[in-house]
Structure 1
Amino acid sequence: MTHLPRRFVFALLTLLMAVQVQAASQQAIDGTASGKVQQVGFRAMILKQAIQYNLAGTARNTEEQTVQFSLQGKDKRLQDALARIRRGTDKSADVKISTRDGIFDPALRTFTVTGWTSTSRHITKPYNLVFTLRQDDKKISKKEAKQEYCAILKNTLDPDDWKKAEPGCQAR
């Protein structure tokens, strides 16, 4: 049996401890939003929170008129995003959020809204809106998150649908 050099073993143990510390500061939650949460910009609001706090996950409407979502990232950021999600949007009502621990996936590097449409903008073709996590992992401002959200719309929507969405991106 070959003996590994002590430096190699030490470096390997240090790396494993660093991975464990990073994983410990990361958390995943699965949630369901009920109440008036469809056709009110709810999934778009969740996406903007994911962008602002650099969180991975998904959001989708269900046939039961709820929104299912998952979020993963740094614990404090998750809690801040969840507090905002609990408030809902201007058009939502009677919002109730239930959550449970999720399974953290270190390979997940995106947040995806599945089948996004916009009733207020008359966009009926469903799109998957995808945010890719920033490498620097910094939290950004609400204004910067909206700019990133608009860039995602511009790069995802067909030109005719972008023309319908663009005025909302110009509004302050």
Structure 2
Amino acid sequence: MGKTKIAFGSDHVGLELKPTIMEYVQSLGYEVHDFGAYTDERTDYPIYGKKVGQEVASGKYDLGIVICGTGIGISLSANKVPGIRAASVSEPYSAQLSRRHNNSNVLALGSRVVGSELAKMIVKAWLDAEFEGGRHQRRIDELAAEDEHNEQKFDRIVHDDSGKYSDQN
């Protein structure tokens, strides 16, 4: 099995932070690819949130990191892609829990919210965390049913009392 592959994307506002974080992630042993933006010319964050989301959802990339001014807009656009669970966070604890409890597969950062050193701490906490499964899997399955717009599947999962989602799993 090869290196974990991480897709990166940002709008023009996130461009200043992105190379620093990409270099840091590479130094941790991950493979990275930049899907834009590449210049500081004004551009729209949904372009890059969507692109990174599609790359992760397709399985071509294992995880994604996206950056805009606050992290909010680009996370919203990534989350429009079925299968994406993007978390916009501003500190390491939430980053860690977004992986452990929500199995987030895209991390969104705000370049106007966090500096480069805090961003590195957030990224490290996120990359080091692993999904716990168990009771948290039910919620991930519910989100997947929502992605599919499948209300019957969603209701089955909500009312599943088979023990499939116990902490012992």
Q: TM-score, normalised by structure 1?
A: 0.31
Q: TM-score, normalised by structure 2?
A: 0.31
Larger gyration radius, structure 1 or structure 2: 1
Compare the two structures and name the one with the higher strand fraction: 1
